[in-house]
Structure formats: C-alpha cells, structure tokens
Amino acid sequence: MTTTTTPRPTTHAHAAGSGVSFAHVLRSEWIKLRSLRSTAWCFAVIAVLLIGFAALGAALSSVFAGSEATPEQQQSIAVTIITFGSPFAQLVAAVLGALIITGEYGTGMIRSTFTAVPRRTSALVAKIVLVGAGTFVVSLVALAIALLVATPLLAGQGVDVDLADGRLWASVVGAAAAVAFTAMISFGLGAIIRNGAAGIAAAIGVVFVLPIIFGIAQGLVGKGWIYTLNEFTPPQAATRLYDYPLDGTSMLTMPGVDGSLVLEPWQALLVLVGWVVVLFAVALALVKRRDV
C-alpha cells in the first residue's frame, strides 16, 4: 500500500522580502553606502572644502573686518567665514545624492535591492535617511573643526568670536543641514531621472545654475516678486538656514527690494522639507510603477 504525502506549503517571508524589517533594510543600505568609494570621496571632499575655505577666509579676514567692526558685526563676519565653504560642499552633496540611487540603476544592483524589498518603499526611505543623516553628521563635524581652526586665526586679525553666542551655533548647525538637504533633494531628482549623468546634471543645475539665473533676473528686472520667488528655491532657502543678518542686511545674500519676502530660518527649513517631501513622493510613485 502506497501513501501519498502532500508536501506542506512553506512560506519564506525573508526570501520574498515581505518579512524584512525596516531596521534590516536600514542596516543593509548602510553597508552599501559606506562600502562605496564615491561616498568616502564625497564625504572627504565635503570636509576638506568646509575646513579649508574657513581657514582661508579666516586668514584673510582683515579684508572683511576693518577696524571699526562692532561685536555683533564681528560675529556676522565669523559666521560668513566659517560657512564660506557651504555652497561648494552643497555641490559635492548634490553629486553624492544623485549617485547613491543612479549608481544602483547603472550597475543593475537595484534589481537585487527591490527583489529583497519588493514593496520598495522602505528601501528608498532607508537610502534617503542615510544620505541625509550621513551628510549632516560629516558636515557638522567638519564645521565644528572649521570653527576651532578659524577662531584663533580670526582673533589674530582682530575678529573676536563669541563661542557662547547661540546664533553662531545655530548657523553652524544650519549650514550642516543645508548640505544634508541638498543631498536629499538630489537623491529625489536622481530617483526620478534614474540616469547617472542626467541626475547629476539636474542636481548641479538646481544648486549652481538656478542661483545664477535668478541673479541675472534680479539684476535685469529687479521686481519684488522675483526676489520672493528666489527665496523658495533650494539654494536660497539653504542659505537662510545659516544666515546671520544684521538689521535685516545679510553678508551671504543679495539685498532684497521693497515688498519682497525674506524667509526666517524656520520658514526656510519648511521650504527645504517641502522640496524633499515632494520630490521623494514623486520618485516613490514612479519607482513603484516602473520596471527595473
């Protein structure tokens, strides 16, 4: 007599990816992020730019300071010099943010990623969180070192830095956040475009070309609405995060015109969050609909 045994169905949740927790996805993405040479190089360049430009600016700070600077003006000069490398660091962060996602599409590794995480949402969330957090930490450490390096150099040029000034530290943190937000915005663009060269070009265009376009428009037209519109662009909003204005006048941005809007730091933060959320939402919708 022969008996037939019906095989018991087995479920391999982890193989299918449905049982993978976000913590596991985050750890996996962190391993990928730190194992890439491009990540290490970009982080290193960001640190060198932030520290190097601060040291250079501090050595030449007498050009800015003059002999009649008030203590508040000296603080503004110090913030300007310490954060002088931030726009250049944002350019590198833009490249990094785009590379993180477009590089996987270019090598085909994205197929393995989405096979392990078929719903795709947690994979993208983990990537953008790590890109933003990693860039922020590297930038903050570099800016703190830049502050330590620049302070004695500034003192030698007659600019005394008050390290107990809360606005000074808020600007340092804001500058690090500006670099991180740029990386996350570029990640969103890269996830939408998917092509490496095009993604990097779009990211650099937002960070570098867009301010030039608005600068030309402001010079030619000079209307208040142009200045107001510029406030909502990522580069300008990023600058507002670490600005140290005196009586409404900034050393980092062009003066506005009557009737134009100037964002407060918390408003600029909301603008940048909005850019990240909108671009990421579009990217997520497209990633879920597209084939890899």
* Three state DSSP letters for 19-37: CCCHHHHHHHHHHHHHHCH
Using CA atoms, how far residue 113 sits from 31, 73, 190, in Å, is 13, 51, 16
How much is the average pLDDT of 134-163?
A: 92
**Cα(176)–Cα(84) distance, integer angstroms:** 12
pLDDT of residue 252: 64
pLDDT of residue 95: 94
**Cα(152)–Cα(187) distance, integer angstroms:** 37
- A 10 A CB-CB count for 3 gives 4
Asked if 85 contacts 50 with a C-beta cutoff of 8 angstroms, the reply is yes
Closest among 197, 180, 169, 154 to 46, alpha carbons compared: 180
Q: Taking the CA atoms of the chain, what radius of gyration do you get in angstroms?
A: 23
pLDDT of residue 65: 55
Confidence of residue 282 (pLDDT cuts 50, 70, 90): very high
Which H or E element spans position 8?
none
pLDDT at 137 over 70: yes
How much is the average pLDDT of 26-43?
A: 89
Local structure of residue 204 (DSSP, 8 states): H
How much is the average pLDDT of 230-243?
A: 91
Confidence of residue 157 (pLDDT cuts 50, 70, 90): confident
Burial class of residue 191 in the structure, from the number of CB atoms within 10 Å of its CB (0-12 exposed, 13-18 middle, 19+ buried): buried
**Cα(25)–Cα(277) distance, integer angstroms:** 20
Statement: the pTM of the whole predicted model exceeds 0.85: yes
**Cα(167)–Cα(235) distance, integer angstroms:** 21
What's the token pair of residue 236? 């300008």
- What's CA 262's distance to the chain center, in Å? 21
Using CA atoms, how far residue 108 sits from 27, 173, 216, in Å, is 20, 36, 41
Closest among 200, 257, 207, 205 to 237, alpha carbons compared: 207
User: Can you say whether the dihedral through the CA atoms of 222, 223, 228, 230 is positive or negative?
Assistant: negative
pLDDT at 204 over 80: yes
First to last CA, the chain: 52
